Chains A and B, each alone.
Chain A
Amino acid sequence: MNLIDALEILKQPIPEPASDRGIYLVCGFTPLHLKTFLAAHMRLCFPGDRVEIRTGLYGDLAGNLERVEPSDSLVVCVVVEWADLDPRLGIRGLGGWRSTDIPDIVESARRQSVRLTHLIKHLAESVPVCVSPPTLPLPPLFTTRGAQAHNAECQLREVVASLATSLSAARRVRLLNLQRLDELSPPGQRLDAKADITSGFPYRLEHASRLAELLAGLVQDSPPKKGLITDLDDTLWAGILGEVGVEGIAWDMAGHAHIHGLYQQFLASLASAGVLLAAASKNDPALVEQALSRSDILLSKDTFFPLEANWGAKSESVRRILETWNIAPGDVVFVDDSPMEVAEVRAVFPQVECIVFPKGDYQAIWDLLKRLRDCFGKGIVSSEDELRQRSIRTASTLKSSFQERGLGAEDFLRNVEATVTFCLGAEARDNRAFELINKTNQFNLNGRRFSESEWLSFLQDPAAFVLTAFYEDKYGPLGKIAVIVGKIGGRKLYVKSWVMSCRAFSRRIEHQCLKYLFEKLDAEEIVFDYEATPRNGPLRDFFAELLGGPPTPALSVRKADVSAKAPALFHRIVEVTNA
């Protein structure tokens, strides 16, 4: 993005009503064009928001961090440069580059790094903080030739690596990946010495734009995709199974098919992080079973569920997979080596991210894996992520089993030995609750998302409550699957958000949640901040059944109504006591 493009983006009117979004850009240099680029990229990421970017004082990164006042909807972007660790590591200061000064520079940088780490971590207790470690080259103050690294240079890089390591593990800190920045902005073309000396702005415009783009992406923190559907022939492995047979397909170097092995390895990694995997292949199902059972395959047959091997249209296989997963097409990636199959699926499901597998192209497979990392990457892998695939498979198997035996839902629920564990209050302030609210679409009261700042601010209200529900039955745990967030006003509760994972549908957990809330908080009435969204049909249906008509905004439910209309509930209830 050029500076003129950024300025023109910022001239565009913001459609009303717009939400306010605050960014505190904390840096030690003059923010100048970085601020402009950040505002423009933020506008592209959040077209419906009014973004206000605040900045601090020149030359005082630590002081600026101390002066940030956390508030709702605020995200802090911290851009650290070498001169912030010691002014002698910049070119604006003239503090001395004698060889005898170097040990002191290193020591001073080490002390400042510890201080900055502490300040950033402290800030991240209240608001999300996005951090860029130094991106500029070190000045040529060292006594070795440029091609030879000086020991002090290595020590300084160690100081920064230590800062980055510590911050990357801190909650609510999102550390910019310098490897990605290196790809976009060549390290040797970042410093603008003239602008740095004359105006205190050290970046060339191209670098400022790239850095701002990545920072805006960190602020946006897009929810990851949930599932990947892959083709098999010439995608998961090289070769056409029906032609070359089970032993003829390959994914190793000997078979000139190593890129397929890399792809398998990557899919196994995704599965271990909770991504749903399914296969859609025009193939003989018996042969596919045998192929996926080969002992040298890098991911087990069970990793894929469902496994759609048939001769029908790919889009039909995709449709059945989406139904089994019960997730939206927009949460899914489809990979196939055939451009025609990709086009067919894309035509039926335009929201699915469709990718042609680049068979035979070694460099392109590298780019594919990077793209998939961007699609599925998330900050934290939770225990629920590990349960997801298994619980979907179990639910599907049970459904088929009960249908085959002619048993209904009532029998199923009675025999399933379900336990719902409720946790109310402070102990529920966990990342899973926050994550669930921000990624659930179908059973969702109003579709509204919380920023981390809003979430923390809301929980600080003494009247606020958070109820989470953990579900388990004799077939295994589903994990933490429901969250209700609201405020207590006497014997009336005001529910601001209510979500439940689609994996937990049809178990009457939603009825149990309401019953528990009424009883535990001794409430007579619950007012729901309901709003219809294009995707919250399941919640709308639940309320319609409970109220005997379509739900309306600010709908109210009385304890007596729930008692009268709730179906039989068979759960055993466990309560987790709050600290």
Chain B
Amino acid sequence: MPEREDRLVRCFASVFPALTPEEIRTASAESIEAWDSLAAVTLVAVVEQEFGVEIDPLDLPELSSFGAFRTYLGLCREVGPGRDVNTNQ
């Protein structure tokens, strides 16, 4: 699980390069000015590709913090790179 969290931190760091790993772990749309709609779309795409999951657009409003992503991914079964399998069950 820590390895998955590190990968999630890397995803956030690629989209928010100014944040430290510590800041990323507490990051949210409210606290990060750079977290605009473009960053949100990019972040979702990066996470989908990195974890091989497909995120339902209806879930996007809830994915507004690092913690929310971590929880969301905890419910997903990772299938590796690719986007063919919706595992958000």
The answer on a CB contact under 8 Å between A3 and B41 is: no
Using Cβ atoms and an 8 Å threshold, which residues of chain A touch B42?
A: 3, 7, 32-33, 36
A531 and B38 alpha carbons, distance in the complex (Å): 45
The answer on a CB contact under 8 Å between B45 and A194 is: no
CB distance from A341 to the nearest CB of B (A): 40
Using Cβ atoms and an 8 Å threshold, which residues of chain A touch B81?
A: 2
Using Cβ atoms and an 8 Å threshold, which residues of chain A touch B54?
A: 194
Partner of B83, one of A4, A33, A204: A204
Contact A198:B57 (CB < 8 A) given known A4-B11, A7-B14? yes
Q: For B57, give the chain A residue with the smallest CB separation.
A: A198
A7, A192, A204 — most chain B CB neighbours (10 Å) = A7
Partner of A7, one of B15, B57, B83: B15
Q: B50 in the interface, Cβ–Cβ < 8 Å?
A: yes
Q: For A5, give the chain B residue with the smallest CB separation.
A: B14
The answer on a CB contact under 8 Å between B49 and A4 is: yes
A285 and B10 alpha carbons, distance in the complex (Å): 62
A195 and B48 alpha carbons, distance in the complex (Å): 12
The answer on a CB contact under 8 Å between A3 and B45 is: yes
The answer on a CB contact under 8 Å between B49 and A2 is: yes
The answer on a CB contact under 8 Å between A4 and B57 is: no
The answer on a CB contact under 8 Å between A205 and B49 is: yes
CB distance from B25 to the nearest CB of A (A): 18
CB distance from B42 to the nearest CB of A (A): 7
Q: For B84, give the chain A residue with the smallest CB separation.
A: A189
The answer on a CB contact under 8 Å between A8 and B83 is: no
A7 and B45 alpha carbons, distance in the complex (Å): 12
Using Cβ atoms and an 8 Å threshold, which residues of chain A touch B45?
A: 3, 33, 195, 205
CB distance from A92 to the nearest CB of B (A): 14
Q: Mark A546-560, 1 if CB is under 8 A from B, else 0.
A: 000000000000000
Q: Mark B19-52, 1 if CB is under 8 A from A, else 0.
A: 0000000000000000000100110011001100
The answer on a CB contact under 8 Å between A194 and B15 is: no
A204 and B14 alpha carbons, distance in the complex (Å): 19
Looking at chain B's contact residues, the main secondary structure is helix
A: contact size bracket = 10 to 19
Looking at chain A's contact residues, the main secondary structure is helix
A198 and B41 alpha carbons, distance in the complex (Å): 10
A13 and B10 alpha carbons, distance in the complex (Å): 18
Partner of B50, one of A2, A192, A195, A199: A2
The answer on a CB contact under 8 Å between B57 and A8 is: no
Q: B17 in the interface, Cβ–Cβ < 8 Å?
A: yes
A8 and B50 alpha carbons, distance in the complex (Å): 13
Contact A199:B14 (CB < 8 A) given known A4-B49, A4-B50? no
A194 and B60 alpha carbons, distance in the complex (Å): 13
B11, B15, B42, B54 — most chain A CB neighbours (10 Å) = B42
Q: A11 in the interface, Cβ–Cβ < 8 Å?
A: yes
Q: For A11, give the chain B residue with the smallest CB separation.
A: B17
Within 8 A of A (CB), among B67-88: 81, 83
Q: For A8, give the chain B residue with the smallest CB separation.
A: B14
Using Cβ atoms and an 8 Å threshold, which residues of chain A touch B41?
A: 32, 199
Within 8 A of B (CB), among A1-27: 2-4, 7-8, 11
CB distance from A509 to the nearest CB of B (A): 54
Using Cβ atoms and an 8 Å threshold, which residues of chain A touch B83?
A: 192, 204
CB distance from B21 to the nearest CB of A (A): 14
Using Cβ atoms and an 8 Å threshold, which residues of chain B touch A205?
A: 45, 49
A410 and B75 alpha carbons, distance in the complex (Å): 86
Q: Mark A197-212, 1 if CB is under 8 A from B, else 0.
A: 0110000110000000
CB distance from B28 to the nearest CB of A (A): 20
Q: For B15, give the chain A residue with the smallest CB separation.
A: A7
A36 and B14 alpha carbons, distance in the complex (Å): 12
CB distance from A189 to the nearest CB of B (A): 9
B38, B45, B49, B54 — most chain A CB neighbours (10 Å) = B45
Q: For A198, give the chain B residue with the smallest CB separation.
A: B57
11 A-B residue contacts at CB 8 Å?
A3-B45, A3-B46, A4-B50, A7-B14, A7-B42, A11-B14, A32-B38, A194-B57, A195-B45, A199-B41, A205-B49
